[in-house]
Structure 1
Amino acid sequence: MTARESARERGERNGRARPVAGVDTRTRIQEVALELFTQQGYEKTSLREIADRLGVTKAALYYHFKSKEEIVSSTVEDFLTDIDELVAWATEQPRTTETRHELLRRYSDLVDRRFPAMRFFQQNPTGTHKTQLGEEFKERMQAMHGLLYDDGPPAQRIRALLAIVGMHMGTVIFENDDYGTPEELKQATLDVAFELVDRA
C-alpha cells in the first residue's frame, strides 16, 4: 500500500481519522497534521484540531509533540534521515547507469512513502520555513543531484536536476487526475527520470 493510498483510506469518519494498523502514533500525528495543514493552512490549524481529527486528547498529543513546529520539524528530519541513508548507499556503488536508475527507484519509493510531507512542502511552504531546515533539505538534494551525472556541460546538470524535481512535482500535481493509477504515474515519472539521467 502506498503512502498516497493510506492517506486516502484513512480519510475521515465522523470527523476523526481512522486508526491505521502498523502505523505508530507519532507517524499518525505527523500525517494527520500535514493533511490538515495542507487543507486549512498551517497558521489556521490548531493542535486541538489535530487532536480532534486523531480522536485523542490534546494532552495525549502533547506527549509526542509540544507544538506544530515540532511536528513539521520532526517530519523534515525523518525525511532527511531517509535521504542520508540513500545517499550513503549510492556513494558506495559504482557510478554506472544501473546505479543511477536504482537510486531513482529508491528515491521514488521514498517520495511515495513520504507523500503527505511532499504535498505539504509543495503547497504550504510557510511551515517548512519555520523549521529552519529548508537549507538542510537543499543540501541533501544537492548531494543526490551530484550522484546523477558525471562532469559535463550545464545541460547535463540541469537534466539530472529535472529528474529529481519531476518526482516531487508529479506526486502533487497529478494526485487527483485521471491520467492513470498511482502505480502507472509513478512508473511514467521514473521512465522520464531515467531518460533524463541517461542523457546526463
Structure 2
Amino acid sequence: MARGNTRQRIQDVALELFAEQGYEKTSLREIAERLDVTKAALYYHFKTKEDILVGIFEDLTRPMDELIDWAREQPRTLEIKRETLRRYQVALLAAAPLFRFMQENQATVRELSVGLTFKERVLTLTEFLQEPDFTIEQKVRCVSAVFTLHAGTFFVERVEGDPEEKHEAVLEVALDLIDRAHEGR
C-alpha cells in the first residue's frame, strides 16, 4: 500500500476511535490494533496522537485555506461573497467528521495547536465578508451567515427532511443574511 494511503487509513481509523470513545481515551496501541498493524508501523507515519489529529485537521481544512486564498484574489463584490459562502459550505460538509470531533472534544481541541488555527480561519473568512463602513448590524449579519453554515452542518440533522434540501435551505438562509447586509450599498 502506498504511503499516502496508509497515512489516510490511520487518520480515518483514528478519527473513528476519537469519535467513539473520545480523544483522551484512545491510545496509539488501539489505533494500531484496529488497523491490524504494529505500533512501529504506526510510528513510521505519526509519533503521537496529536500528530495524527494535526494531520487530519490539515487535510480536511486545506479546502478552507484554498478558499481563503481564492477570496483574497477576488474583487469584494456581493456575488463573490455569495460564491465564498457556497464554497465554504462544500468545504464544511467535506470536513464534517472533523468538526463533529471538534464539537464533542472542545476542551481537548482548545489545548491543541489546531484549535486556534481553525478560529483564525473562521475569523479571516468573516472579515472578508464585511466592509469597513458596515454598521454593527451589517457586520453581525455577515458573521451570522458563516455561523449559519456551521449550524447547518451539525444541528440541522435533527430537523426533519431530505438532507440535500436541508443543506440548500441552510445555504439560502446564509445567502439571505449576506444579501441583507449589503442592501443599500
TM-score by length of 1: 0.79
Residue identity in the other structure for 1:152 = F
- Which residue is 2:112 aligned to? 131
> Which of 64, 72, 86 is the aligned partner of 2:53?
72
> Which of 103, 111, 114 is the aligned partner of 1:122?
103
Residue identity in the other structure for 1:44 = K
Residue pair 2:110, 2:116 contacting (<8 A) in 1 also = no
Residue pair 1:108, 1:190 contacting (<8 A) in 2 also = yes
Question: Which stretch has the larger CA shift, 115-124 or 33-42?
Answer: 33-42
CA drift at 1:128: 1.6
Question: Which stretch has the larger CA shift, 87-96 or 190-199?
Answer: 87-96
- Which residue is 2:7 aligned to? 26
| Residues 1:168 and 2:150 are matched in the alignment | yes
| Residues 1:93 and 2:83 are matched in the alignment | no
Residue identity in the other structure for 2:154 = V
Matches within 5 A, 1:1-200: 24-150=5-131, 151-175=133-157, 177=158, 179-200=160-181
Find runs of 4+ consecutive structure 1 residues off by over 6 angstroms: none
CA distance in 2, matches of 1:178, 1:60: 43
Q: Which has the larger radius of gyration?
A: 2
CA drift at 1:72: 1.3
Give structure 2 stretches of 5+ with no counterpart: none
CA drift at 1:195: 0.7
CA distance in 2, matches of 1:62, 1:181: 42
TM-score by length of 2: 0.84
Residue pair 1:160, 1:197 contacting (<8 A) in 2 also = yes
CA distance in 2, matches of 1:58, 1:182: 39
Structure with greater proportional helix content: 2
Over the residues paired in the alignment, what is the CA RMSD in angstroms? Answer: 2.0
Question: Which stretch has the larger CA shift, 147-156 or 108-117?
Answer: 147-156
CA distance in 2, matches of 1:31, 1:162: 31
CA drift at 1:80: 4.5
Aligned residues: 177
Question: Which stretch has the larger CA shift, 51-60 or 96-105?
Answer: 51-60
- The percentage of counterpart residues that share the same residue type is 50
Give structure 1 stretches of 5+ with no counterpart: 1-22
Residue identity in the other structure for 2:82 = H
Question: Which stretch has the larger CA shift, 65-74 or 32-41?
Answer: 32-41
Residue pair 1:42, 1:126 contacting (<8 A) in 2 also = no
